[in-house]
Every structure is written in structure tokens, then in C-alpha cells.
Amino acid sequence: MKNVQDYFGSMVFDDRVMRARLSANVYNSLRKTIDEGKKLDLSVANAVAETMKDWAVENGATHFTHWFQPLTGVTAEKHDSFIAPSPDGGVIMEFSGRNLIKGEPDASSFPSGGLRATFEARGYTAWDPTSYAFIKGKTLCIPTAFCSYEGHALDKKTPLLRSMQALNMQALRILRLFGNDSAKRVIPFVGPEQEYFLVTKEMYDKRPDLRFSGRTLFGAKPPKGQEMDDHYFGVIKPDVAAFMEELNEELWKLGVLAKTEHNEVAPAQHELAPVYTEANVATDHNQITMEIMQKVAAKHGLVCLLHEKPFEGVNGSGKHNNWSLGTDTGINLLSPGETPYENAQFLLFLCAVIKAVDDYQDLLRLAVATAGNDHRLGANEAPPAVISIFLGDELTAILEAIEKDIPYEGTAKVRMRLGADVLPRFNRDTTDRNRTSPFAFTGNKFEFRMVGSSDSIACTNIMLNSAVAESLKIYADRLEAAEDFETALHEMIRKTIRDHKRIIFNGNGYDDGWIREAEEERGLLNLKTTADAMPHLLDPKNVEMLTAHHVFSEAELHSRCEIMLENYCKSVVIEANTMIRMARSLIAPAVEEYAADVAGRASVKMTAVSGLSCRYEKELIEKLSALTEEIDRKAEELEMAVSALHAAEDIIREAASVRDGVLVKMDELRDPCDRAELLTAKKYWPFPTYADLLFSDI
């Protein structure tokens, strides 16, 4: 039995390796770059590159790649070998600081949203030293940012790093006001819980919809779903346990802190949760996790489905983004603390998050907007599309007491004069978790439950970091100019609570009454689809905030809006075309074949038995014939809806047509197909059913 401690991080060029292999001067210089953002000298880069290459080759690597995260939503890599020719006809293994720092992939291969023409191919990758290099297979993977020839960000990492820098800058201003001069960095920490489904490769291969779109486009509800609650935390099946065991081992080698594994609510659904780490590293690790999940599943004869809604009628899969703020000295800024001033500091950071979420609901919603996630949000399994914050009874009561300037009726009656009177100490977990809340405080962090299972967590954390940075900037500007810090602090927290309490909701987010209240009484946004949400990226307030903190340029925002809407349209069109083909070439012929066989058997029976009416067969044939005609008609209507998209004048109108036309027609086609499945004998049905997929023996 291998000891995890012996091989954890064995394929990572981490701090342990660097400290052991680099000279003290080189190591210290590199640490300053990582910890303080100091510029990296080329001589240091050369020394790091040589050591990194030697370590990688010792561990079996023959190639290196700049591993980056373009706007396709998946990772990208181009492999180059270490070999260079030697005079004697052999080769030497070569890798320089320039190779480490910069690469040049073909930027024309990736979406740019109009930032560059198709023929303008040059793009650059730049080493991100804050995320450790690792070996995957025989390739040294160097985490990098990706930009265009003109310097525009073409990836998800660059804006994430910018947002972390903006948040750090503003949070340090607040800490200095509270007398904290020791902290040098404030870091967003993230732990993304990853949900997924497992199905057998054999059945997956028989479903064109799964192969082309990642979700089932047809499927009648099986007799049993998740009604009995017998999957969640239930015994893990042996084949799944074997998959999880190998998955953990592969992730641990790569330094991914995979911690928790269990079944999820739906049949065939499971979850993996890691330990928290810095947002940048957590983003890299989650991309690695999704890739390794799919590779390990294939080795076990399985397919890992990461689509947000692979099966209609059962829970879909999300990715809960647990987010907190901490200093490089180990202080969690969202933990209440032990003293009045720590309480006051906590409440200020808490209010900064409340203000950020209320002011930028639209950014948080569009950060999780995809064609797949639109099927999941608000479906009584995930948070609604309306953003709200859950704080729990005690924190809500404390904020109400501050707003009204009255004694807090908790463990003791104490007037809530921040920094003047003694604040009550309150524990972290005094309230049950609210699984229906999009954004819930869970003791010393917030859990943002709206992220889709296949999505990158970069988008969510970019918007969250940026919005909180804006709140903290406003606070710091006012407090730095205040004559009386404590009075100004007290009044500012009161004002935040008064102005933004509409975003706080501790009830059932699935209740239709809440959605009406949110929209009609509180004025909260309900952006139900990607087509509704994404255009808000270009709202003046959002452009102003994101450009002011140098997270995006205005051109980058326009490009991302274009790319995300284009991805939405393409995804749905692929699904629609797949539906048309399956309906016409698989489902309708199967139903017709069954009807013909029923008719043949009825004819034989009527010949054999004089006077036999065969009423059952006749009625069944009529139903099946009517369904095939309806399937053909609905397939034609869907085809026309797809063709009509060509007339759209721009991508925003095209996305609206997808939402209002194509998706509606897809639902209309699915209905007769699913009804036909229930009437057709199983041996005639052309692909595995939901019962087969969800309740296999794996």
C-alpha cells in the first residue's frame, strides 16, 4: 500500500522541490516574484528553467507545454520536446528561461470576439509563477496566461489574476485602517465542490445526444428516480469506488487536494470536494480535476458527464464555489474573531460582500450563464436565477440591530456601537445551511451555488473579486478621509445594511412566492437565461467598474460578450440538429417498425381466430402512427427555427431567437418522442433509456 504522504505532489514542481534544488538567491528571488509580484530577472528565469527541466526529465518528461485556459472553456496545450541537436549527431535536453517565460501558440485557433482577424495568428502565453508547474503523462505543463499580439487577454486566467490584484490592493487599505501593518497580501481562497454523473461507455456510445451535446435530448422518466433519497450519502458501488480511488491517486500526484467523495442526490451522480486554496490555484486545479475525471473514467469503462443537466427530471450537476478572504499571515477576514475590533473588521468585510452582491447581481448571474446551466437554475435542485444572500438568523438580527441602533437581543443586550461599545461575540455556525440560497454565508466563507458543473470557476471569481474590490475601495476612500474613524465606520456599516438589505433572504429560494417578492417588492433581477443575462456585461456601470480596476479593457468586455453569446447559440444549435437527426433516423423508424410488427401480429391473430377484433392492437397502431406524424411535423418546425437564425442582425438578436424559438421547438419535438418511448416495446427502442443509464450495475 502506497503512503499518500510519499507521493502527494510528486508530479508538481512545488515549493518543496524549488527550495531543495534552487540556490538560495534564485529561490528567494523567485519567492518575491510569487509572493510580492516582483519582476523576474532573466538570469533567475534561466536558473529556474534549467532546474525545472532536470526535475521533469528525471520524472519521465520528454516535452513541455504552456498550459492555458482560452475562452473555449477547456484548457489548451501545444507540446514541444526538450531535445536539441548536438554536434555528434545525438541530442541534448534543452530548456531556457525564455522558453519558460513566453510561448507563441496560434491565436487564430481560439475565439477572440473580434479582437483579432482570422488571419492574424500571433498570440503569446506568459508564465504564471504563482501556480506550480506539473507533469501530466510525459509533458511538463507550465501554467500560463494567454494574450493577443496587441496585449488583449484571450483567456480566463489573466482577468482572474487582475481581479485578485485589485482585491488585494483595496483590502490592504482597509486592514491598514484597522492598524494591521503586518499583512502584505489579501488573498481570495476558493474550494469548488465538483458534481458529476457516471455512465457506462457502452451505453454512452449508443446515445448520439450524449456524444454530440453532453446531455440526453430525449428520454422518458423512469419508474423510479431520486424520490426515495437512497442515493445521497449511500453506499458507493464497487466500480464507482474503484474509479474514485484511482482518481484520488492521480489528483494527489498533481498536488490537487481532493478531500471528500460521496454519492449525490440523483442516481449515478457523485461529488468530489477539495481543500481550499488560492483562487488562481483552485481554478487551475479544478480544470485539472475535470480532465483527470474523464481520463480515469475511460480506463474503467465509464464516461464522466459534466453537463449541468444530462437527464431531464432528475437533479443536474453544479459546482459550489466556496469563497473566502484571508491574509498571508493566516487571518480569515470573514471569521468573526475574538475581540470587538475584530468583530468590527469582520462586519465591514461582510458588508462589503453584501454591497457587492447587490450592486452587481447581474455580473454574478452572467458569470455562470451557459446553455447547460440555464436548464438547471431554478429547477428545484439548484438556486433560482434570482441572486440573494443567506446570512442566518443571528447575523441578520445583528445587522438589524446595527441598522436600527438598538440593543442586540442575543446572548446579552449590547448596543451595537462599532469600536466603541463591546460587540457581542457570536459563533460561526449558529444557523442551519440553506441549500436553496444562491449565495450563503456558512460560518467563515460564502458558498456560491450557481456555478455549472462544466464551467470554469474563473468567471465567477473574477466578478466576485472585482465587485468586492469596488465595495472596499468606496469604504477605504471614505474612511481614510474621515475625521472620526469609529463614527464613520459605524455609519457606513449602518448605511450599507439600510441600502442593501433587500439582497438578504433566509427563506426557501424554491418558493414561487419568493420569486414574486424578489422581483415585484425588492426589485431584484431575474435573468432566467444566458440570452437575458449576458448583454448586461456591457451595461455602463459594469464596464466602468471592471475597467476602473483594470480587470478588463472595454474591448475585452465586448469580445467576451460576443464569445459567450456565440457559444450559447452554437451549443443549442448543435443540440437542435442532433434532435432532428435522432428523431428522423432513429426514433420515427423504430416506432414505425414496431407499429408494422403489431399490425402483422394482429393480422395473424384475426386470421387464426374468426371474429377477433384486435382492439388493443388497432388502438396502439393508431397512437403510434399519430406520434410518428407529430414527430415528423415537429422536427420540420425545429429545422425551420434553426434556419431562421441566419436572419439575425447581431449575436444578441440571434441569442434571443435561440431562447424564444429554437429551445421552444426542441421541447415540442421531445414531447411526442418521449411519449412514443413509453408505447414502444423496449427491444425496438434504438438507444438506452433513462432506466438503463441511471440504474446500471456500475
Predicted local confidence at residue 52, as pLDDT: 95
- The set of cell numbers assigned to 366 is 452572467
- What gap in Å lies between CA 554 and CA 469, rounded to an integer? 18
Predicted local confidence at residue 342, as pLDDT: 65
Q: State CA 487 to chain mean position distance.
A: 41
In terms of Cα–Cα distance, which of 11, 15, 20, 9 is closest to 30?
Answer: 15
Predicted local confidence at residue 426, as pLDDT: 47
- The set of cell numbers assigned to 383 is 438556486
- What gap in Å lies between CA 192 and CA 273, rounded to an integer? 7
Predicted local confidence at residue 117, as pLDDT: 66
Residue type for 579, please?
M
Mapping DSSP to helix (H, G, I), strand (E, B) and coil, where does residue 278 land?
Answer: strand
Predicted local confidence at residue 116, as pLDDT: 67
pLDDT in tens, 394-420: 888 888 888 887 776 664 444 444 443
Mapping DSSP to helix (H, G, I), strand (E, B) and coil, where does residue 216 land?
Answer: coil
Predicted local confidence at residue 666, as pLDDT: 98
Mapping DSSP to helix (H, G, I), strand (E, B) and coil, where does residue 152 land?
Answer: coil
Q: What is the DSSP string of 74-142?
A: S-B--EEESEEE-TTSSEEE---HHHHHEE--BGGGS--TTSS-TT--BEEEEE-TTS--EEETTEEEE
Domains of the chain: 4-155 (3.10.20.70), 163-191+319-551 (no CATH), 567-694 (1.20.120.1560)
Predicted local confidence at residue 413, as pLDDT: 45
- The set of cell numbers assigned to 98 is 525564455
| pTM listed for this prediction | 0.93
Please name the residue ranges forming H helices in 415-539.
Answer: 458-481, 485-500, 512-516, 530-533
SS (H, E, C) 282-307: HHHHHHHHHHHHHHHHHHCCEEEECC
CB atoms within 10 A of CB 554: 12
Predicted local confidence at residue 398, as pLDDT: 85
pLDDT in tens, 256-286: 999 999 998 889 999 999 999 999 999 999 9
Which parts of the chain register pLDDT below 50? 411-431
340-359 vs 393-404: helix axis angle to the nearest 10? 90
Is the dihedral angle over the CA atoms 410, 433, 376, 290 positive or is it negative? Answer: positive
Predicted local confidence at residue 21, as pLDDT: 96
